[in-house]
Structure 1
């Protein structure tokens, strides 16, 4: 036997912390809509729905809602205690129960097979397919094949009360307390238990796509048998866990769940602990957090079913947050600056310097708001009633000239060293220029400035200054201000961010009125009504892929600049935003802005944003795009608030007016950001932007024939242009039919002969 104890034990714990930071775990339970919290099996059917088995019903999930099927609402179901699930080659869904036999779901109808229909036992322990795609069913006392609705027994278990089943791509593995068994090509092979591979302590068996067999034990340890060969040397992994589930993802990586709630992935020959044990791992009984099912959906998301804690969804985190736990001086961050020495400086009441992965903190600056680097490489720190310069590890107070102009209770929101050697300060009391000779000048609304509350100062390629205030945007050139406000096209007067792209286009963000594009004297507005995730635009950073990243009170979001340009040109009427929040790694979705820099793109291309709980860091190159358009399904319809049956056609009787059509799109990556468009061809041939609403409403549809079409895009804006369609036929009242009109004509003609 090969015993790689030391090497693998070290790898488990060395890799765990680094890998675990990449995932966020969202939980769903009865509070979310599950009928019961034991999720025993998970499957995505070919139509795109996710199905879960629980002990109080079978559950279908579309990303927005759980639909429960049970004995109360679904004729054909004989028991709510569902345990396993399988989709056969003909598209039928098969569900095994603990006491109600085998249930088939096909063409919207359920049908159950029990002892009365020839099933050997009503406890179904496993459902699988053989090499020919035929259905194998393991019950409490026998294994057989279901063919043409008849059950053919292949063999009976020698010890039914001690028999457990594993997972295999083809065929079937099971075991009892004396041996392991494999059903393959119609033949049953037995492998007697040995001292090392004692089947009595086996808790899970999984055969991977390479034919290797994984055997997990309830007393700790995991075996790998190459090619499923019991006679060759095997590998042993000494994880002290009671293993309860195993799964192989599409990338070939193996995942393992345990009774304690721990989740492991084997990556590059190393075991990584993604979820730490939640409960004792020594008990033979599966505890509440025990992971009893693992599954990967078509978009790559990993799902885990637990014994009594519902469902867990693993979302890959793209945001790393640096906090006081990492050494940051304070979690409430105001401004972030990268200096020429490749140091990151962070204003968070006091001051932190981040270099080579380590923080150095300085407590001398109090209430630090803003940061800037001058031409000499010195750091300037703006604060409440204060201004400091930091050079050669020494702070120098420069606050006195500002105090002479403003008195007390001033706040410095931005510091800008211009190309001429002057320093400009944006404050709550106006704009200040400090020249190289120490002379100061204050500009306020009396001098033509749009507002005295100055949030940002930007110098363009021509050396002109653009000043964002809470009274609008000011362009300062040749000593004069030209202002842009709501009155001449700006979406809002509270300007917080200014960005000039390589083409010379200006992008202006506001506190609560969205984004503005400014070019050649023309302003284009973008708000949530036009597809922005949020109307707050506190900072604007462009990545190398041409996306604009923006921060707000509700998180960070990005929009493709090409879409913004197309919107400005009238080519599209809505843009797609992709939002990032807690499930992506943020500890607090509220970003800070109005103090500069309110975010920075560092030389390595990463984006840094200040938040209420630390510094959020994103590598845009590490952000994957979901390329899969979501399947679109028209689920139901209501006429005058009554459920209406339909297939390919929905018929509306005369006198019926109120129509509601419910649809969905099956994407599970940020399903709340899935977007829909629909139209009723023949009534209105233009697409209606429905946002994330999953229903269409019509208060009145005239008699006639129509096609209702709906399309959807995933959270990355990839559209399923085919979507779904049903024909809608509205029958006219009898007095508007052709035969009634003909009858009237004939009647009138007949009267003419009287």
Structure 2
């Protein structure tokens, strides 16, 4: 068997801080129950990185994996490395560069809402669709597609349906029986504007609810969540988020976790989540209310326009004047005082057989990682002292602690035993404990390497070939 040792030439005094280590965890290796607080890495892109404009109004990932952004400088595609801009200079048929919203149709076409109308983008070309109301060209505030592939729009409070190569205005029916039939029909879509909650059934659209008198402010947009549930969440201009379910209306505002009662958008993500974008922040639905998404890089004055979760779990956040942010779940995070550690001089950690962790600190005792927090372990009451420089759980479930002495226990909640010269152990200042593939315990000390086979200790020193007696780390390599 080959044991690799790390030896320190100039040992510090054990009464001083040996190392000032930051404990980091691989999220992928931690059990799901332990990952209660997500950590993120934030990246930002602006005009200096290839965006044509600092405004990012909407974000969409299409089925081919590209991520698209609507900006006031055109349509932008991101391939994971670089941005490509489609604007009036290089895109035939594009009427306006000032884009607001994006929608991917079932046939793969990308539909663009602009300040000057509505366009279909396909194969590098745009086809404009002019929706004229009272002599003015409008852009839709909501776009939806029913189960048949028919597109529906809400334009200035008026519903439109695509019929061939044009969109035609639709009359809204008021019929209680038809409304009930529409809500039961899984093939329809929801549209809303001001105080009207509408639902399509076939080629007909019907008012499901008139929210006048129940809301003090108008509805901007909404979404059914989860899809097919019949529950609709609506962003309002002063009532926060309104939740509609079978005639019941529930309002959520700052007291329920929103960053403002002025909600701009409600956006579902591909992971089953639901987000609310307010003018000053983002909040995520947690089943009972909303929780602010504090990882958004805002300084209190920054505004948010959109959020999208991509297929890799990254969050893309658009702003009206600071460009684009990506908030990526980090594979590593730092555990410190904010997570419960009162002593951050961590020298050793071990993953237990049940998937939880133990941390050993320099003169701060041992901590257990539980529920996303570091909590002092009950074993501290039994340890010879709290200056713990190594911790390890062996294959038999016994816990080893290295300090100025060697200590072992079978339970963190009951006393264990110390090893000393009466047991044949003469090590001083225990810095490393591990177990090899044959079940042998190895202990690295200030005065050499010790081997314990369960019955007796044997010491190895410079006389046995070590280059130095101070052993701090022990690793068994792949060859055993």
TM-score range, shorter chain: 0.5 to 0.7
Change (3 A) 1:440 1:135: closer
> Are positions 1:518 and 2:479 aligned together?
yes
Q: For residue 104 of structure 1, what is the aligned residue in structure 2?
A: 120
Following superposition, the deviation at residue 324 of structure 1 comes to: 2.7
> Are positions 1:21 and 2:37 aligned together?
yes
Q: Of 65, 73, 93, which residue of structure 2 is paired with 1:56?
A: 73
| Residues 555-592 of structure 1: per-residue CA shift (max 9 Å, x gap) | xxxxxxxxxxxxxxxxxxxxxxxxxxxxxxxxxxxxxx
Q: For residue 180 of structure 2, what is the aligned residue in structure 1?
A: none
Q: For residue 243 of structure 1, what is the aligned residue in structure 2?
A: 263
> Are positions 1:324 and 2:340 aligned together?
no
Instruction: State the structure with bigger RCO (CA 8 A, min sep 6), 1 or 2.
Output: 2
| Residues 356-401 of structure 1: per-residue CA shift (max 9 Å, x gap) | 94315699968753346899x795524xxx54658988998979xx
| Residues 320-353 of structure 1: per-residue CA shift (max 9 Å, x gap) | 8653334334334221257999996533222422
Q: For residue 154 of structure 1, what is the aligned residue in structure 2?
A: 169
TM-score by length of 1: 0.43
1:325 is paired with a residue whose SS is: helix
Q: For residue 595 of structure 1, what is the aligned residue in structure 2?
A: none
Change (3 A) 1:431 1:132: closer
For 1:323-402, list aligned pairs within 5 A: 323-337=336-350, 346-354=359-367, 357=370, 358-360=375-377, 368-371=388-391, 380-382=401-403, 386-387=404-405
Change (3 A) 1:107 1:174: same
Following superposition, the deviation at residue 436 of structure 1 comes to: 11
Change (3 A) 1:518 1:98: same
1:46 is paired with a residue whose SS is: coil
For 1:400-479, list aligned pairs within 5 A: 413-415=431-433, 425-427=443-445, 430-431=448-449, 442-444=460-462, 447-449=464-466, 454-457=471-474
| Residues 105-153 of structure 1: per-residue CA shift (max 9 Å, x gap) | 222333445589xx9616454443356424445555965455554x344
Contact 2:431 2:445 in 1 (8 A): yes
Contact 1:333 1:346 in 2 (8 A): yes
Contact 1:27 1:310 in 2 (8 A): no
> Are positions 1:218 and 2:232 aligned together?
no
CA distance in 2, matches of 1:26, 1:279: 8
CA distance in 1, matches of 2:232, 2:154: 20
Q: For residue 281 of structure 2, what is the aligned residue in structure 1?
A: 261
CA distance in 2, matches of 1:350, 1:39: 50
Change (3 A) 1:417 1:76: closer
Change (3 A) 1:19 1:272: farther
Change (3 A) 1:65 1:223: same
Q: Of 192, 207, 210, which residue of structure 2 is paired with 1:174?
A: 192
Unaligned runs of 5+ in 2: 1-33, 173-185, 255-260
CA distance in 1, matches of 2:376, 2:235: 43
| Residues 302-335 of structure 1: per-residue CA shift (max 9 Å, x gap) | 5554444545556567778653334334334221
CA distance in 1, matches of 2:454, 2:105: 79
Contact 2:263 2:278 in 1 (8 A): yes
CA distance in 1, matches of 2:355, 2:297: 45
> Are positions 1:288 and 2:306 aligned together?
no
Q: For residue 121 of structure 1, what is the aligned residue in structure 2?
A: 137
Q: For residue 39 of structure 1, what is the aligned residue in structure 2?
A: 56
CA distance in 2, matches of 1:192, 1:343: 53
Following superposition, the deviation at residue 60 of structure 1 comes to: 1.4
Change (3 A) 1:271 1:336: same
Following superposition, the deviation at residue 183 of structure 1 comes to: 5.8
Following superposition, the deviation at residue 95 of structure 1 comes to: 0.9
For 1:496-535, list aligned pairs within 5 A: 497-498=475-476, 508=477, 517-518=478-479
Change (3 A) 1:430 1:108: same
TM-score by length of 2: 0.64
Size of the aligned set, in residue pairs, is 409
Contact 2:93 2:126 in 1 (8 A): yes
1:262 is paired with a residue whose SS is: strand
Change (3 A) 1:331 1:171: same
CA distance in 1, matches of 2:146, 2:252: 33
Following superposition, the deviation at residue 58 of structure 1 comes to: 1.4
Unaligned runs of 5+ in 1: 1-17, 158-167, 228-232, 281-285, 458-496, 499-507, 509-516, 520-754
1:94 is paired with a residue whose SS is: strand
Contact 2:188 2:202 in 1 (8 A): no
CA distance in 2, matches of 1:342, 1:76: 58
| Residues 183-235 of structure 1: per-residue CA shift (max 9 Å, x gap) | 6544454555522134x4434322343333323333234333335xxxxx404
CA distance in 2, matches of 1:449, 1:35: 62
